[in-house]
Each structure stands twice: as C-alpha cells, then as structure tokens.
Amino acid sequence: MGTNNTMSQTTQPRTFEVITYGCQMNFHDSERIAGVLADAGYVPVADGARADVVVFNTCAVRENADNRLYGNLGHLAPVKQSHEGMQIAVGGCMAQKDRQVVVDKAPWVDVVFGTHNLGALPALLERARVNHSAQVEILESLERFPSTLPTRRDSAYAAWVAISVGCNNTCTFCIVPALRGKETDRRPGDILAEIRALVSEGVQEVTLLGQNVNTYGVEFGDSGAFAKLLRACGEVDGLERVRFTSPHPAAFTDDVIAAMAETPNVMPSLHMPLQSGSDTLLRAMRRSYRSEKFLGILDRVRTAMPEAAISTDIIVGFPGETEADFQATLDVVAAARFAAAFTFQYSIRPGTPAATMPDQVPAEVVAERYQRLVDLVGEISWAENKRLVGTPVEVLFADNEGRKDAATQRMSGRARDNRLVHVAVPDDPHLRPRPGDLATVEVTYAAPHHLNADAPLSNLRRTRGGDAWDAAHAQSAPPSGVALNLTPRG
C-alpha cells in the first residue's frame, strides 16, 4: 500500500495541489499546508495540470464528508497509476478521526496526518517515498501553534489570523473538540505582530479565527481579552477591516459589543450561531443559552450598531425535534431578522453523543422543515436587503466572490456589513478597481443574497491591498492621473 511508484529523477521541482473541505479554520490550515510545502521546495501546480502531490484537507463535520473524500480518492487511484511518482496525502479533521481507516479504505494513499502536525507533511511524504509504504502520523495534542508555520495565502489583501485552536464546549452534535483538542490561546502580542506583518505586505482585512473566539483569553486567565484584542486591532495603522468568527452566544459579553461599536475598523457584522430556537433542543444540544438570551444579545448589538448585519447557523431535524420545537426556531428567525443563515439538515456524525440519541427525525420530515426554514430565511434576508436600496455602501473588491457579469461590467466585493455586492465598473481596464481596492457605491437593486450597485463608479480608492494584488499577479498599475477622483492609498 502507499507509494507504488519511484519518484522520477528530474531537476524540475515537484508540484502540489491542496483541496480543502469545511470551515474557515480548514482553509486557514490549508494556507499553512501550502506554505510548508513551498518552504520545502514544492511549487503550486499550474491550472489544468496534474499535481505530483495532492493533499486533501478534510472536514468531519459537514454532511457527506466521508463520501466526498473517498469518492475523490477513488477517482485519483488510476491517475496515480499513470503518473510516475505521484503522492496523495489526507489531513485535517477526518484524518484525525479515522487515522488508519483512510489507508485501509484507500491503500493508494501515501500519507495521513492530523490537525496537530501540519508541519510534518514534507517529511512524511519523503518517508513514504523512500519506504514505499503509507505513513500515518496523528498527534494527540498541539505541540506548537500553527501560526508559527510558513504560509502561502490565496489572497494578497485579506488574511485569516488564528487567535485560538480547539474548543472547551461539549455540544452533542459536534466532534470538533475531540479532533482539535481543548482551547489553546495565542498571546495577544503574537497575534498583533502577525497582523502588523500582514498589513506591511498589503493586507487590508483580517478575520480573527477560533472555534469560540469570545472565550479567547481563558487559557491565560483574562476574560476580557477578546474585547481588548479588538480594540488593539483598531490601533494598527493601515488595517481597514477586522472581522471574527465564530463567537458563542453563551460567552458573548457586552464589552465585546462596545469594542465592536467603538473601534472603527471592526466591521458591523456578526455571525452568531443559533442552532435551534427551541429551548428544549438547546438543552439537548448542550448549548448553554436559551432563545431569550440569544435575542437579547442581538437587541444589544443593534442598539450599539444599528447598521449591523447578523448571520447565523441553524440545524434542522436534531434528534427529538417536534413540530413545536421547529416552530420555535421559525419564531426566533422571524424575530432575529437575520441578514443570512447557514442552514443544515441534521445527519448523524459518528462519535458524537447525538448520534446515539433516540427519536431520530425521519429524513422526509427533516427535508420538509428545512425547505420551510430556507423559504423564511430568504424572505427575511430579501426584505432586509431591500431596505438598503438607495443607500451608500463601502465595498472592498474581491477576486473570489463569484459572479463577474461581462454584459454589465460588474465586479463583486463585500460591504462593511459583509453583504455581497455586485458593482458596475468602467469598461476601461485602467479605470477598473483591482481586488483589494475600495469604493463607496449606491445600492440600486436588492436580491435575497446579494446587492447590485449599477450607478457610475466615481470615487474608487486605490489601496496597498490592490497594489499587493497587482504585484502578486504581475500586473502593472493603472497610469497616474486617471479621472477617478482617486484618494491617497490606504
């Protein structure tokens, strides 16, 4: 099993591709994986080419994660046979959970590595190549914070910054604490040093990451550490936008709301996972808050920041969910007026307490309730978006936000409240914004999941983030003196 081809003797560096499933933390880990491989001499594979090393960074939480992984591994088996020296590695949460099962099911896999040993991948690949056998290495705990590893970021102007790893909660539907371990916090000085270094490279926006960001500081005994960190981010010169994900309602405190409202570069957007509006189900989920507390947090956030957009996560069909329980969720959604909701049909996750609970809800009932929830969420988000028609919003242009409409010359970006905005831009490529640039535009149309701004663009602000994007893509900057009312670089 494992490597079945000897590596071709060539002077060309070996190429790699990282395929990521799951949450923002997984995508951030993939940047570390790519950085570690690049540091070891590997190079990213060209578009359309077959990589010498394919790395799957897996998720154990999302629905059908196992099927997706093993389906893709099956497709790669004959490719590997015909590609001399090709290696396949599987890391992330599923690797941490399943370990030897991966190579038992897919014996052509060369390396299986866990969530705590990203930095070991180059050595494991070389060991698999030399020994002609699969290498499985899973550390049980974090030995060093992954932010000390080299990074290869996908974006020149936006970056994730991990402030903690792991989780101390015991939600019955979630396996993350078993796979990521107990919460480990970075020191504030290390986080701020990383942010300043990123800004010096042209980063305009950072997103602070943790399984539960608002318990940051528990490891070193400072319950106010997260609010202090947000305020400290406000003192970083050149940092335009700060976001964070995800908080937990049980630990969300008023000092964080005040820090958000009083720190200009902390964005008025909040992702607050609800999971269920039923207090009975919240208790069964071991979510240590109730619907009244949840709605109270939202009220205080909106009092401090009337323009805030709030999104959430909701699970439909948790074991034991009755029609009354589901109606309670609909009632909370109606009261909360979410700008967006990530909705999930419950499915059994082996290894979680919920997997063995009685009264599993029939799939057809879950599907019917799910559709009702999606319809309500869409109706509310559309109504909330319509309120913005005719108002100005500041957009940070992006290169990975989906649609770019050639017929209407639109580019996409995110408003301060994190809404997706499609903006009409000039035909002249020298007058068009670059990813990382900023502009204030007027909303002309609202859909349930995006806004359009089709008025003429006249106040584009070119930024260091756009400069960094230009440099990363080897593009020349537009000529000076273009008629765009340009303001100084941020």
Here the CATH number for the domain that contains residue 446 is: 2.40.50
Q: In this structure, are 64 and 167 located in the same domain?
A: no
Name residue 453's beta-bridge partners: 423
84 — alpha (psi -120 to 50), left (phi > 0) or beta? beta
In a domain, 220, yes or no: yes
Helix/strand/coil for 118: helix
Q: In this structure, are 34 and 129 located in the same domain?
A: yes
- Pick the last residue of a domain from 217, 242, 267: 267
pLDDT attached to residue 93: 83
Q: In this structure, are 115 and 194 located in the same domain?
A: no
In a domain, 285, yes or no: no
pLDDT greater at residue 400 or residue 36:
36
Q: In this structure, are 199 and 94 located in the same domain?
A: no
In a domain, 288, yes or no: no
pLDDT greater at residue 186 or residue 490:
186
Name residue 414's beta-bridge partners: 396, 420
Strands 87-92, 111-113: pairing kind: parallel
In a domain, 2, yes or no: no
Domain count, the chain: 3
Of 47-51, 182-186, 228-232, 484-488, which one has max mean pLDDT? 228-232
pLDDT attached to residue 426: 86
User: 168 pLDDT exceeds 70?
Assistant: yes
Quote the CA–CA distance of 199 and 206 in Å, as a whole number.
Answer: 9
Residues above pLDDT 70, as percent of the chain: 90
pLDDT attached to residue 348: 86
Range of the domain at 455: 392-472
Quote the CA–CA distance of 256 and 436 in Å, as a whole number.
Answer: 27
CATH number, domain containing residue 21: 3.40.50.12160
Q: In this structure, are 92 and 131 located in the same domain?
A: yes
Tell me the per-residue pLDDT of 107-129, one tens digit each, with 9 for 90 and over: 999 999 988 888 899 999 999 99
Tell me the per-residue pLDDT of 31-87, one tens digit each, with 9 for 90 and over: 889 999 999 999 999 988 899 999 999 887 665 677 788 899 999 999 999 998 999
In a domain, 480, yes or no: no
DSSP 115: T
User: 180 pLDDT exceeds 90?
Assistant: no
CB 55 within 8 A of CB 276: no
Q: In this structure, are 129 and 184 located in the same domain?
A: no
CB 415 within 8 A of CB 427: no
**In Å, how far are 233, 290, 295, 442 from 254, measured between CA atoms?**
18, 17, 14, 32
- The residue-averaged pLDDT of 250-275 equals 97
User: 292 pLDDT exceeds 60?
Assistant: yes
Helix/strand/coil for 342: strand
pLDDT attached to residue 489: 37
Q: In this structure, are 125 and 182 located in the same domain?
A: no
User: 145 pLDDT exceeds 70?
Assistant: no
CATH number, domain containing residue 180: 3.30.750.210
In a domain, 87, yes or no: yes
**Which one, of 484, 481, 482, lies nearest residue 439 by Cα?**
484
Q: What is the DSSP string of 194-223?
A: HHHHHHHTT--EEEEE-TTGGGTTTTTT-T
Q: In this structure, are 36 and 116 located in the same domain?
A: yes
Q: In this structure, are 86 and 165 located in the same domain?
A: no
CB 292 within 8 A of CB 332: no
- Pick the last residue of a domain from 249, 267, 285: 267
Tell me the per-residue pLDDT of 197-227, one tens digit each, with 9 for 90 and over: 999 999 999 999 998 999 999 999 999 999 9
In a domain, 185, yes or no: yes
Alpha helix locations (H) across 224-362?
Answer: 225-233, 254-262, 279-284, 291-304, 323-336
Please give the model's pTM, rounded to 2 decimal places. Answer: 0.83
Tell me the per-residue pLDDT of 428-475, one tens digit each, with 9 for 90 and over: 877 889 999 999 999 999 999 999 999 888 789 999 999 998 888 864
Looking at every residue in the chain, the average pLDDT score rounds to 88
Quote the CA–CA distance of 251 and 257 in Å, as a whole number.
Answer: 12
Give Cα 48 to chain centroid, integer Å.
Answer: 25
396 — alpha (psi -120 to 50), left (phi > 0) or beta? beta
Q: In this structure, are 157 and 133 located in the same domain?
A: no
pLDDT attached to residue 146: 63
pLDDT attached to residue 148: 66
End-to-end Cα separation, the chain, in angstroms: 54
Could you tell me the pLDDT band of residue 476, with boundaries at 50, 70 and 90? very low
- Pick the last residue of a domain from 267, 288, 305: 267
Q: In this structure, are 33 and 85 located in the same domain?
A: yes
Q: What is the DSSP string of 363-404?
A: HHHHHHHHHHHHHHHHHHHHHHHHTTTTSEEEEEE-SSSS--
